[in-house]
Chain A
Amino acid sequence: MKQATNPNVDMKGALSKGGAFHGFMSKFPLPLVPLFLFLLIFFMWPIGALTGNAFKSNEGALTLSNISLLFQDPYRLAFKNSITLGFISALVGAIPGLVIAMAIEKQGSQTLKKFVASISGVLANTGGVPLAFMFLAAFGPAGLVISALKSVGLDLYGLGFTLFSFTGLVIVYAYFQIPIMVIVVTPALSALRTEWKDSAANLGASKIQYWVRVGIPILLPSFIACFLLLFASAFSAFATARALTVGNIALVPLQIGSLVDGNVTVNQANLGYALAFGMIIISLLAMIPYIWIQSRTSKWQR
Chain B
Amino acid sequence: MKNLGSKLVLIITGIFIFFPLYAATEFSMRNGAEHTHGLTAYRWIFEQSGFFENLAITARITVLAVILNLLIMVPTVTWLHLSGQRYKRLVEILTILPLIIPVVALATGAQLALPSILQNTVYELSFMYVVVAMPYTYRALDIGLSGHPLATLTNAARNLGASWVRVLTNVIVPTIRPSILAALFLMVALSLGEFTLAQLLHWSTFPVWVTNTSQQNIIGATALAVGSLFFAWILLFGFTFFGGKKSNTVQEEA
List A residues at the B interface (Cβ < 8 Å): 4, 13, 19-22, 24-25, 29, 31-32, 34-36, 38-39, 41-43, 45-50, 53, 96, 99-100, 102-104, 106-107, 114-115, 117-119, 121-123, 125-139, 143-145, 174-175, 178, 232, 235-236, 238-239, 242-243, 252-253, 256-257, 260-261, 272-273, 276-277, 279-280, 283-284, 287-288, 291, 295, 302
| Contact present for A175 and B20 (CB under 8 Å) | yes
- Provide the residues of chain B in CB contact with A115, threshold 8 Å: 241
| Contact present for A100 and B100 (CB under 8 Å) | no
List B residues at the A interface (Cβ < 8 Å): 2-3, 5-7, 9-10, 13, 16-17, 19-24, 26-28, 71-73, 75-76, 79, 82-84, 86-87, 90-92, 94-115, 127-128, 130-131, 134, 151, 155, 189-190, 193, 195-196, 199-200, 202, 207, 210-211, 214, 218, 221-222, 224-226, 228-229, 232-233, 236-237, 240-241, 244-245, 248, 254
Known: A35-B91, A46-B109, A48-B113. A235 touches B23 (CB 8 A): no
Nearest neighbor of B28 in chain A, beta-carbon distance: A137
| Contact present for B10 and A50 (CB under 8 Å) | no
What's the Cα separation between A104 and B7 when bound, in Å?
9
| Contact present for B195 and A239 (CB under 8 Å) | yes
What's the nearest-Cβ distance from chain B to residue A283, in Å? 5
Known: A107-B10, A127-B195. A13 touches B86 (CB 8 A): yes
| Contact present for A42 and B110 (CB under 8 Å) | yes
- Provide the residues of chain A in CB contact with B23, threshold 8 Å: 134, 137-138, 143-145
- Provide the residues of chain A in CB contact with B131, threshold 8 Å: 38-39, 42-43
- Provide the residues of chain A in CB contact with B10, threshold 8 Å: 100, 103-104, 107
Q: Could you say which of A25, A42, A102, A117 contacts B114, with CB atoms under 8 Å apart?
A: A42
| Contact present for A42 and B86 (CB under 8 Å) | no
| Contact present for B221 and A32 (CB under 8 Å) | no
Number of A-B contacts (CB under 8 A): 264
What's the Cα separation between A261 and B155 when bound, in Å?
55
| Contact present for B236 and A236 (CB under 8 Å) | no
What's the Cα separation between A29 and B76 when bound, in Å?
10
| Contact present for B240 and A283 (CB under 8 Å) | no
Q: Could you say which of A49, A117, A134, A277 contacts B226, with CB atoms under 8 Å apart?
A: A134
| Contact present for B195 and A134 (CB under 8 Å) | no
What's the Cα separation between A20 and B158 when bound, in Å?
12
Known: A19-B83, A302-B254. A129 touches B20 (CB 8 A): no
Q: Could you say which of A104, A133, A276 contacts B104, with CB atoms under 8 Å apart?
A: A276
- Provide the residues of chain B in CB contact with A257, threshold 8 Å: 104, 199-200
| Contact present for B127 and A42 (CB under 8 Å) | yes
| Contact present for A133 and B108 (CB under 8 Å) | no
Known: A133-B225, A238-B103. A128 touches B211 (CB 8 A): yes
| Contact present for B210 and A130 (CB under 8 Å) | yes
What's the Cα separation between A273 and B196 when bound, in Å?
16
Nearest neighbor of B128 in chain A, beta-carbon distance: A42
Known: A31-B75, A39-B131, A144-B27. A118 touches B241 (CB 8 A): yes
Known: A50-B105, A118-B240, A145-B23. A32 touches B84 (CB 8 A): yes
What are 12 A-B contacts defined by CB distance under 8 Å? A20-B151, A31-B75, A31-B76, A43-B97, A46-B109, A46-B110, A103-B9, A130-B210, A175-B16, A239-B199, A257-B199, A295-B92
Known: A35-B91, A238-B196. A99 touches B9 (CB 8 A): yes
- Provide the residues of chain A in CB contact with B83, threshold 8 Å: 19, 21-22, 24-25
What's the nearest-Cβ distance from chain B to residue A37, in Å? 9
| Contact present for A32 and B76 (CB under 8 Å) | yes
What's the Cα separation between A81 and B222 when bound, in Å?
28
Q: Could you say which of B84, B92, B214 contacts A133, with CB atoms under 8 Å apart?
A: B214
What's the nearest-Cβ distance from chain A to residue B181, in Å? 13
| Contact present for B102 and A130 (CB under 8 Å) | no
- Provide the residues of chain B in CB contact with A236, threshold 8 Å: 102-105
- Provide the residues of chain A in CB contact with B190, threshold 8 Å: 125
- Provide the residues of chain A in CB contact with B189, threshold 8 Å: 121-122, 125
Given A138-B20, A236-B103; 17 other pairs, CB 8 A cutoff: A36-B94, A42-B130, A43-B97, A47-B109, A50-B109, A126-B229, A127-B193, A130-B228, A133-B24, A133-B214, A135-B20, A137-B28, A137-B222, A138-B19, A252-B104, A257-B104, A276-B104
| Contact present for B79 and A121 (CB under 8 Å) | no
Nearest neighbor of B105 in chain A, beta-carbon distance: A276
What's the Cα separation between A239 and B5 when bound, in Å?
36
- Provide the residues of chain A in CB contact with B254, threshold 8 Å: 302
| Contact present for A123 and B17 (CB under 8 Å) | yes
What's the Cα separation between A284 and B114 when bound, in Å?
23
- Provide the residues of chain B in CB contact with A99, threshold 8 Å: 9
- Provide the residues of chain A in CB contact with B105, threshold 8 Å: 47, 50, 236, 256, 276-277, 279-280, 283
- Provide the residues of chain B in CB contact with A252, threshold 8 Å: 104
What's the Cα separation between A53 and B128 when bound, in Å?
20
| Contact present for A134 and B229 (CB under 8 Å) | yes
What's the Cα separation between A115 and B196 when bound, in Å?
29
What's the nearest-Cβ distance from chain B to residue A53, in Å? 6
